[in-house]
Structure 1
Amino acid sequence: MANRPSKRSAKKKASKPPATQTNPGKGFVTIRAQGGVLVARPDHPERLPRLAQQWNYILRGRARWASDPDLRSTIADRASEDLNSIGVHRDFLRQLALVDRIEVELHDWDRSDADATRIYEAAAEFPWEYLISAATRSEGRFQSLLITRLFRNGSPSVIPRPPEQVLFVESAPGRLKDTYVFGDEEDRIRAAVGATGPFEDDMLIKKTPQITELREEVKKDKWDAIHVTGIDAHQAGWFVKGFYDVFQKEKPAIWKDISTASGRLLDGMVLREAGESERPVRYDGPDGLANILVSSKKPPYVVTLNLFYSGAHTARELVAKGAHAALGFLDEIDDELCELFFQAFYWAWCRPQKDNTPLTIPEAFQAAWEKMRSSDRLHGTAIVIWMGRSIFDQAHTSRSPKNVRAKATVKTKKLAVEKQRERRLAHLEKLRNTAIDKLILVDLAVEDEVNYSLLHNSRQLLSKLTLTKLVDGPLEDITVHVELYVGAESYPYRQTIEVLNEVQLGLASEVMIPLTASLSRALRERVQSTVYVKVTCGGRTACEETRRVTLIPVDEWLDDTENNPWLPSFVLPRDPAILKIINSARRYLIGILDDLGAGFDGYQQEDPDVVDKQVQSVWTALVSEYRFQYINPPPAYSTKTQRLRTPSEIVGSNSGTCIDLALLLASCLEYVGIYPVLVLLTGHAFVGYWRSDQVHDEVFATVKKVPATVPAVGDKVARDVGLPYVDRYGWRLTALNYAEVMAYVMSGDLVMLEATFLTNGSSFSDAKTEGRANLRSREEFDSLLDVQLARAASPPVTPLPIIHA
C-alpha cells in the first residue's frame, strides 16, 4: 500500500483532478492485441463502477439465460453496447474478432485517492473476459480466444519453466474443519506436476498451517509454484452462521483489518494463528495474503488459487508483489470443476508438446480453459489469469527443466515407427505392475436421500463420480457399473470406456437410471435402499462400494436450499381436476369480460388487464364452487421434507396447505398459458403470475433491469443472507435477488396472490393485496421459482407423472 500523504501533500493533491483524469494518455485500462498493434484505452471511467455491478449481477444469474441461444445473443449485443459506452468501440471489437490473444492491462494508481481507488477496483472486478469474448463472437469470431490481465511488476522477461518445487497449501481451520476433504485434490495436483514415485519430495503439502509457519515456508525461496485451496473469507459466512459476529463484537481490531470503513468484508481466506483458531486474512496489506505467499527474493512463477472471489483482488495483488502469474476466480464455481481446471492447468504446463517444447503459463491456462467450456456447471463470471509482464513482450526461456520434467521430455520424444508397438507394450506392462490406486482415482459421493422428483428431471443419482488419471499415457478398458436397488427391482447403469486420455472425467451427470417401473413412482412411504458402484480398469477393481440411501416417495418434496428448485415439478396442469376448474372458470370469465365468446387465451391479446381478468375468473371459480379448508400436511417423518397433494387430492378433500393451494393455482394458470411463480418465505408459500410474457421473456429472463442497489460481495446484507451469490438454477431467485423481485412487483409486472385466502372466501383484490404484503420483509423472503423458466431449462423441470397405488 502507498504511504499516507502528509497534510500538506494531501491538500496539494486535493486541488488536482482525480488521478484517472490527470493522465489521459495512459488511462485506467489499456486493451491490446497482436503484439500491441491493436490498442484501445477505454474512457469514461466514471461509468465503470455501475457497469461492473450490473455485469457481475447479470453473470451471476447466467443460468437464467445461458441455455437459450436467442437470449445469449441478446446478452452479447448488450456487452458490445456497454463496451462501446466506455470507449471500446465497435470497429475495435471487429478487429479483436480476428485475433486469438488479447490483453487487458490495469494500470497502477494513487491508492490514497478514494475516487481513483473506486474506479480502479471496479476495473479489477469488471468481467472483461466475458464481455470481450461475447462481443467479439457477435462480431464474427469463431476461433478460441485467450484473454489475460496485466499488472506490471517489473518481473524479468523470461518464459518460466515448469515447476520443480511445488508448495500445496490447504486450510480449513476451526469450525470449518470438515467443510472440505482435500485428499483427492492433493493426489490430482501431485500427479499433474509429476511429484510421484522418486519425485514425491518435489511437492510439499502444508495442512491448515499457522500464518507464521506459512511465512517461514515461503521464505525458503525455493517454490516455483504455490497452489492454495480452502475457504475464502466470504464462504466462511455461508458455512457458519454469524461467523463474523464475534470479530465485530469481541475482536474489533481484526474486523477493522479485514473490512472497509463501510463494513464491507474484503476478499481473502481463512487461516489460523497462535491463539486464533480461525483467522480471516485480507488479500492485501502488510499482513495480507499476498505478503504471506510471495517471497521478495524469489517470487513464485505462479500462484493458483482454488478460492472463490480470488480473481479480482487477491490474484492481482500476488502479481503486484512479484509473482510472474496468478490464477483465480472472479466469483464462484463448482467445486469439482475447480479441481479439474487446476489439474488440467498443471498437467498441460508440466508436459512438453509433440514438438518437445513446453507450454507457457498462459498457453497452459488456455488448454485448461478449453476443457471447461462445454461444462453446464460453469456459472458466474470468469476464471482469470493475471500476468506481471505483457504476453507480447519478447522473452527468453529460463534454464532447462530437471528431474521429472526432464524425464517427461525424454519419454515424449518421437519414436521411430518400428518402436511404437514396443513402446505400447512397455506402457501396458508398466501399468500392470503399478498399484491400481496409483493409476486411477475414483471420487464417489452419494446423497443420503434420493427423491424421485430429482431423478425424474434428469438430475444426478450420484452427487459425484469422477475418474482421475494419475499417470502419463492412456488407461484402457475401464468399466463403470452403477445400480440402484428398490425392493426386488434394480435400475442399472453401465458404461465401458475403451481408452481414457483425459486427465479427469466426471461421470455423475451421465449416470441416468431408468425409472419406468411403477414401484418408484407409486411409492407412498420411505424405503431403505442401496446404490452399488463398481469401477474397474484393465480388469482390476479400482472402486467397489455399496452405499445405503433412503428412497423418498414421489409426492414428498425436499424443502431445503439445495432441493427447493424442484418444486415446479409439483405444478401439474394435466391433472384431471384442473380441466374441470377451468371449465367452471370460463363461465365467470364471460361475465367479467361481458363477452359470450371469451376464452382463456393467455397473453395473445397482449393486454395485462385481460390477463388479470383471466386469473380473476379462476380465483372466483375456486372460491365460489369449492369450499376449501386449511389442513396440515400428511406426515413425512422428516424435518426437511413435506408431502404435497395433487390437484385431484385437494379438490377431492376440499382441503390443503398453503403450498398445496399455491400449487393448485399455479397449475391452473399454466394450463391457460399464463406464467406462474411460486414464492417461498420462512414457513409460508404463495403464488404469483406475470402480466406480460414480453416482460418475462425480454426483461426478466435477460436480467435487463438490474436494481440500483444490489448486495455487493462482502456487505452486511449479503453476509446476513448467508448464501452463495451464484445460483446454478436459472429459474430461482434467492434472497440476494429480493430487490429485483420487488422492482417487478412495484412496477406491476408481477402480481402476487395469497393462496390461503381461497379458504375464507376472500376476493381476488384482497388476495392480491395480501400477496404483495407478504413481501414486506427481506428477512423472511427465501426464494421465487419461475415455472416457465424451469420448464425451459436444460434439462427441463417437468411435471411429475404421479400415479396412485
Structure 2
Amino acid sequence: MQEKQNSATVANSLASKPPKAILALEKRVNAKINFAMAQNNASVLHSLCIHNSGDVAATNVSLTLRANPAVLRDKVWQIDRIRPGEQVELGDLATPLDTAILGGIDEAEIGQLEFSLRIGDDLVQCTQDPIELLARDEWGGLSEMENILAAFVSPNQPQVARLLKQASSLLEAAGHDGSMEGYQSNSPQRVWMIAGAIWSAATGLNLAYAVPPASFERSGQKIRDPERIVAEGLATCLDTTLLLAAAFEAAGLHASILFSRGHAWVGVWITNNDFGKLIEPDVIAVRKAAAAREFIALETTLLTRRPSVGFERKRSMKHKVFRQRGPWQPVGYLHSMEARPRCLQPFLPAATVPART
C-alpha cells in the first residue's frame, strides 16, 4: 500500500510540473583573432544555433555577445519564437573587430567571449569562451586562419618596390627589357625571365635563416614584413615565401603559398593561369601544373644560402620534390592573388594603424 501511495505521489508531482521551453546554444567560434582579421572584416563566428528541446514554444528569446577586452561591440540577436523541437540558425554573424586594439598588441593576450541566452528577462544559459588575441604581426596558422594568410602578402611595401627595381636593373644589364609587365607579353619565356630576375634580386639581400616555431603551419607564427626582413637580415621559410609572393604579385604574376608539414615555400605561374580557388588542397592539381611547366615552386630558404643558388638550379631542385611520395606531405596551397577579389587586402604598415587608447 505504501509503495502505491509513493508511486502516486511521484506521478502527481511529475504531472504537476508545468511544461516549459528548454533552450541550448550551439556555436562555432574562432579560438584566435588578429589585426589582419579586423582589417578585412572577418568574423569571429562561424555558426550559431539555438535548439528548443522543451515542451512549449519559447518567446521573446535573445542572445547577447560581449567581448573582454572590448575587441568587438556588444551584439544582440532577437528571436520572436522557437517552437518545441525547433532549431534556429542565426544569421548576421558579422562581428566588426576593433583595429585600434588589435593593431596595438605586441604579444598575444587571452580574452573572453561571453554568450548570454535569455527568455524574456530570465537567463537560461551563459558561457564564456577563451579567445587568443594575437600580436599585430602574428598569423594564427592554417587550423584557424588559412584564409587570412593572404593579408600578409604585402606587394605595396617600399622594400618590395626596391626589390623589383633591382630585378629590372638585372634584366636590363643582361640586354633585356626591364619592365615588370606580368603576362602582357603572352610569352612563358618572358615571364620566366621576370621571375628569375626577382629571385636573383632577392638573393642579393644577404639573408640569414631563422628557425620557425614547431608546427607553425598549423599553430602560426609572428611574421616579418619585407621592411623588417631587410632591416634584420633574418627570415624563416614563411617570411621569405611571403616576401617573394609579394614581389611576384607586384610584378603582375600569380603567386601561391604552399605548405607541407613544418615548411612553406612559394610557387609562381609561368602562364596566365591559377588554381581557380583560394585554397587548393589537392597535390595532384599542383603536380600536374608543375609537370606541364606552367607552374614552378621555389624553395625560398635557398635565398639564405651562400654562395647563392641560381634560378634554374633552384627550380630543378624543387621540381624533384613534387615527384616524391614519401616525406613530402602537403597540407594546403593558398593563392594570394585569388584572395584580392575576395576583399582580402594586404597588411597595413604599423604607422597607418590608429593608436590604442
Distance 2:36 2:180 in 1: 30
Partner of 2:346: 799
CA distance in 1 between partners of 2:151 and 2:324 (Å)? 27
Aligned-pair CA distance for 1:490: 4.6
Question: Using the alignment, how far apart are the partners of 2:110 and 2:174 within structure 1?
Answer: 53
Structure 1 position 633, deviation (Å): 4.0
Structure 1 residues 476 and 531: alpha-carbon distance in aligned structure 2, compared to 1, 3 A threshold: same
Question: Partner amino acid for 2:181?
Answer: D
CA gap 1:498/1:550 in 2 versus in 1, 3 angstroms: closer
Aligned to 1:179: none
Aligned to 1:491: 72
Aligned to 1:722: none
Shift in alpha-carbon separation, 1:601–1:434, aligned structure 2, 3 A: farther
Aligned-partner SS, 2:74: strand
Partner Cα separation in structure 2 for residue 638 and residue 586 of structure 1: 33
* Whole-angstrom distance in 2 between the partners of 1:683 and 1:676: 20
Assess if the C-alpha contact under 8 Å between 2:216 and 2:262 holds in 1: no
Equivalent residue, structure 2, for 1:120: none
Say if 1:545 and 1:608 are closer, same or farther in 2 by CA, change over 3 A. same
Structure 2 counterpart of 1:756: 301
* 2:227 equivalent to 1:648: yes
Instruction: Work out whether residues 21 and 57 of structure 2, in 8 Å CA contact, stay in contact via their aligned partners in 1.
Output: no
Runs of 4+ in structure 1 displaced over 6 angstroms?
Answer: 471-474, 634-639
**1:434 CA displacement:** 5.0
Whole-angstrom CA distance in 1 between matches of 2:92 and 2:325: 35
Structure 1 636/774 Cα, relative in aligned 2: closer, same or farther at 3 Å? Answer: closer
Offset, 1:652? 0.8
Question: Retained in 2: the 8 A contact 1:635–1:643?
Answer: no
Task: Pick the structure with more helix per residue.
Answer: 1
CA distance in 2, matches of 1:755, 1:509: 41
Q: Distance in 1 between matches of 2:91 and 2:67?
A: 14
CA contact (8 A) 2:21 2:53 kept: no
How has the CA–CA distance of structure 1 residues 538 and 434 changed in structure 2, closer, same or farther, with 3 Å as cutoff?
Answer: farther
Do the aligned residues in 1 keep the contact of 2:60 with 2:80 (CA within 8 Å)? Answer: yes
Query: Where does the alignment leave 5 or more consecutive residues of structure 2 unmatched?
Result: 1-17
Helix, strand or coil for the counterpart of 1:532?
strand
Contact 1:659 1:685 in 2 (8 A): yes
Aligned partners of 1:459 and 1:491: how far apart in 2?
12
Q: Distance in 1 between matches of 2:214 and 2:315?
A: 31
RMSD of aligned alpha carbons: 3.1
Paired amino acid for 1:754: E
Q: Does the 8 Å contact 1:525/1:553 carry over to 2?
A: yes
| Residues 1:584 and 2:166 are matched in the alignment | yes
Residue aligning to 1:535: 117
Q: What one-letter code is carried by the residue in structure 1 that aligns with 2:316?
A: T
- Identity of aligned pairs, percent? 21
Partner SS state of residue 97, structure 2? coil
Matched, 1:773 2:320: yes
Residues 145-224 of structure 1 correspond to what in structure 2 (within 5 A)? none
- Is 1:692 aligned to 2:275, yes or no? no
- 1:567 aligned partner: 149
- Summarize the Cα distance change of 1:508–1:757 in structure 2 as closer, same or farther, 3 Å threshold: farther
Secondary structure of 2:256's counterpart equals strand
The alpha-carbon distance between structure 1 residues 482 and 801, as it changes in their structure 2 partners (threshold 3 A), is: farther
1:617 is matched with: 197
Q: Distance in 2 between matches of 1:591 and 1:643?
A: 37
Of residues 59, 65, 70, the one that matches 1:482 is 65
Greater C-alpha Rg: 1
- Asked if 1:788 is matched to 2:337, the reply is yes
Structure 1: distance between partners of 2:218 and 2:289: 33
- TM (norm. structure 2) is 0.80
Aligned to 2:288: 743
Question: In the TM superposition, what are the counterparts of 1:152-551 in structure 2 within 5 Å?
Answer: 435-437=20-22, 440-454=23-37, 456-470=39-53, 476-486=59-69, 489-497=70-78, 499-500=80-81, 503-507=86-90, 510-517=93-100, 519-551=101-133
Give the 3-state SS of the residue equivalent to 1:689 in structure 2.
strand
Q: Is the 8 A contact 1:577 1:648 kept in 2?
A: yes
* Separation (CA, whole Å) in 1 of partners of 2:206 and 2:142: 31
| Inter-partner Cα distance in structure 2 for 1:452 and 1:508 | 24
Q: Structure 1's 435 and 742: CA in aligned 2 closer, same or farther, altered over 3 A?
A: same
Distance 2:107 2:95 in 1: 23
Amino acid at match of 1:573: P
**Which residue type is aligned with residue 170 of structure 2?**
Y
Q: Greater relative contact order (Cα 8 A, min sep 6): structure 1 or 2?
A: 2
Q: Give 5+ residue unaligned stretches, structure 1.
A: 1-432, 702-729
Q: SS in structure 2 opposite 1:605?
A: coil
The C-alpha deviation readout for 1:286-335, integer Å capped at 9, x for no partner, is xxxxxxxxxxxxxxxxxxxxxxxxxxxxxxxxxxxxxxxxxxxxxxxxxx
TM-score (norm 1): 0.38
SS at match of 1:466: strand
Per-residue deviation at 1:455? 5.2
Where do residues 588-599 of structure 1 align in structure 2 (5 Å cutoff)? Answer: 588-592=170-174, 594-595=176-177, 598-599=178-179
3-state DSSP of counterpart to 2:95 = coil
Q: Is the 8 A contact 1:678 1:687 kept in 2?
A: yes
Q: Is the contact made by 2:248 and 2:254 (CA closer than 8 Å) also made in structure 1?
A: yes
Shift of 1:481: 1.9
In 2, the alpha carbon distance for the partners of 1:633 and 1:751 equals 24
CA-to-aligned-CA distance 1:2-35 (integer Å, 9 cap, x gap)? xxxxxxxxxxxxxxxxxxxxxxxxxxxxxxxxxx
On the 8 A contact 1:558/1:641 being kept in 2, the answer is yes
Letter in 2 for 1:603: Y
SS in structure 2 at match of 1:583? helix
Please list, as runs of the form range in 1=range in 2, the aligned pairs for 1:115-154 lying within 5 A after superposition. Answer: none
| Structure 1 position 543, deviation (Å) | 2.5
Mapped to 2, the partners of 1:496 and 1:562 lie a distance apart of 25
CA distance in 2: counterparts of 1:444 and 1:478, whole angstroms: 16
Which residue matches 1:217? none
Specify whether residues 485 and 594 from structure 1 end up closer, same or farther in structure 2 by C-alpha distance, changes over 3 A only. Answer: same
Deviation per residue, 1:217-264 (Å, 9 max, x gap): xxxxxxxxxxxxxxxxxxxxxxxxxxxxxxxxxxxxxxxxxxxxxxxx
1:665 aligns with 244
Residue 781 and residue 637 in structure 1: after superposition, are their counterparts in 2 closer, same or farther (change >3 A)? closer
Contact 1:441 1:469 in 2 (8 A): yes
In 2, the alpha carbon distance for the partners of 1:778 and 1:459 equals 37
The alpha-carbon deviation at position 675 of structure 1 amounts to 0.6
Partner SS, residue 347 of structure 2: coil
Q: Identify if the C-alpha distance between structure 1 residues 490 and 643 changes in structure 2 by more than 3 Å, giving closer, same or farther.
A: closer
Distance in 1, matches of 2:33 and 2:92, equals 15
